[in-house]
Structure 1
Amino acid sequence: MTTIYATLGVQPDATLDEIKRAYRRATMKWHPDRNLGREAEAYAAFQEIREAYAILSDAEQRRVYDEVFAQEMQRWQAERDAQEAQEREVQRERERLAQEHYEKMVAIAMRFADDGHNRDVLFGVLLGRDCDAELAARIADSVWALQEARRDNVAATDTPDSEATVQPDEATSPQRHSSAFETFWQGLFGLRQ
């Protein structure tokens, strides 16, 4: 928001002498006779400078301008704060809906994965439920990886430790018997075949 102080290039606490010097500098810079080829732009700037000086050089008009400007800035700030609060609320609602949608898609994928469907089926089901392709791919990959890990874990826990480490019976295994015999023979005589 441009103020008439900025138009003259002075600070809001500028003295009357500073305002007069700034006015002279600005009128010299933007006088239409000094801006050949840019007369329309110079004339508009020159008019703004004259209007700013008319207000700021009169103590009463300057006081009224400062009061009105301060009120307008407060109103503008309040509107801006309200708009930002509304935008934050809208953003929170969007995030809530996105999270809700995500959770729903994950639940659907989990249900189909629990029924034994593969990753491609999960992906297709999610696409059919209006899930974005990128999100559907991520969910399908994650749920499928989770299901694979669960299956591996279940398979490992279903196998008893005694079965997992069962050694073949030495009496029924010719290789094991032969190996044991060779070890015994070598130990007894120190000979190798």
Structure 2
Amino acid sequence: MATLYAKLGVSQDATSEEIKRAYRKAAMKWHPDRNAGQEEVARAAFQDIKDAYAILSDDNQRKIYDAVYAQEMRQYEALERRRREVEAAQARKAKAEAEAKYTQMVGVAMRYADEGHNRDVLFGVLLGRDCDTDVAQRIADSVWALQQSRRAAQADESAAMPDAGCADPVATAASSHEPIVEDAPSPPQPAAAKHDKPVHEPRAAGLFDSLWQGFFGVRS
């Protein structure tokens, strides 16, 4: 909303002489006789200029206008602050809801992947739960890649484990330069810890981080 000062093209602390000069200049510019073909626009602008000058050229009316304008500006600024606070609160709520929904959809996709379903099934399940198409596609692709990585790591780990029952005692003794002892009982082998962390976990964790960061753009 333009102020009376802005209509005359002066600052709020302009002197009476500056206001008078600005009025004369604006009146000449917008006088209807000087704006052939745009008389209606010029007439409205010329009237605004006259009204503004009538108030600002009178010291008492100018003081009243300044006081009222200052009060209106304080109210306007208070309303603007409140509006920004409400919008910020709504944005935070929407972000929290989006993060919660995303986390839920990732959990659903991982559960179906653990059950052996392929990527297309994951995608379809997510769509059936009102997940956005682009988000569902990203989650399905990432979870499927994570699951494939886990299975490949497990297969590599199983293939790398030695078969103790097929060891050749002659070859073993020869390589160690120790005499062969017939029927000597083999020392008990320590059982593999059931909860040893598989070698694929760092890679899996990295893929999950990429899955999370791909949607929210978060970098840890």
Could you tell me the TM-score, scaled by structure 2's length?
0.72
> 1:116-131, aligned counterparts within 5 Å?
116-131=116-131
User: Residue 152 of structure 2 aligns with which residue?
Assistant: 152
Q: C-alpha separation between the residues in 2 aligned to 1:160 and 1:140? A: 30
Q: C-alpha separation between the residues in 1 aligned to 2:151 and 2:30? A: 80
Give SS of 2:93's match: helix
Deviations 1:72-106 (A, max 9, x none): 11110110110011011111111111111111111
Considering Cα pairs closer than 8 Å and 6+ residues apart, tell me whether 1 or 2 has the greater RCO: 2
Deviations 1:36-77 (A, max 9, x none): 111111111011000100111011111111111111111101
> 1:26-41, aligned counterparts within 5 Å?
26-41=26-41
Shift of 1:161: 4.1
Matched to 1:73, the amino acid is M
Q: C-alpha separation between the residues in 2 aligned to 1:70 and 1:47? A: 24
Shift of 1:123: 0.5
Larger radius of gyration: 1
User: Residue 25 of structure 1 aligns with which residue?
Assistant: 25
Matched to 2:91, the amino acid is Q
Could you tell me the TM-score, scaled by structure 1's length?
0.82
Q: C-alpha separation between the residues in 2 aligned to 1:74 and 1:143? A: 53
Q: C-alpha separation between the residues in 2 aligned to 1:51 and 1:150? A: 79
Q: C-alpha separation between the residues in 2 aligned to 1:161 and 1:83? A: 65
Matched to 1:61, the amino acid is Q
1:58 aligns with 2:58: yes
1:132 aligns with 2:132: yes
> 1:1-193, aligned counterparts within 5 Å?
1-162=1-162
Q: C-alpha separation between the residues in 2 aligned to 1:91 and 1:12? A: 37
Deviations 1:110-147 (A, max 9, x none): 11001010101100111111111111100000100110
Give SS of 2:37's match: coil
Compare 25-34 and 146-155 and name the one that shifted more.
Answer: 146-155
Give SS of 1:88's match: helix
Give SS of 2:146's match: helix
User: Residue 204 of structure 2 aligns with which residue?
Assistant: none
Compare 8-17 and 151-160 and name the one that shifted more.
Answer: 151-160
Matched to 1:58, the amino acid is D
Q: C-alpha separation between the residues in 2 aligned to 1:146 and 1:75? A: 55
User: Residue 210 of structure 2 aligns with which residue?
Assistant: none
Q: C-alpha separation between the residues in 2 aligned to 1:87 and 1:66? A: 31
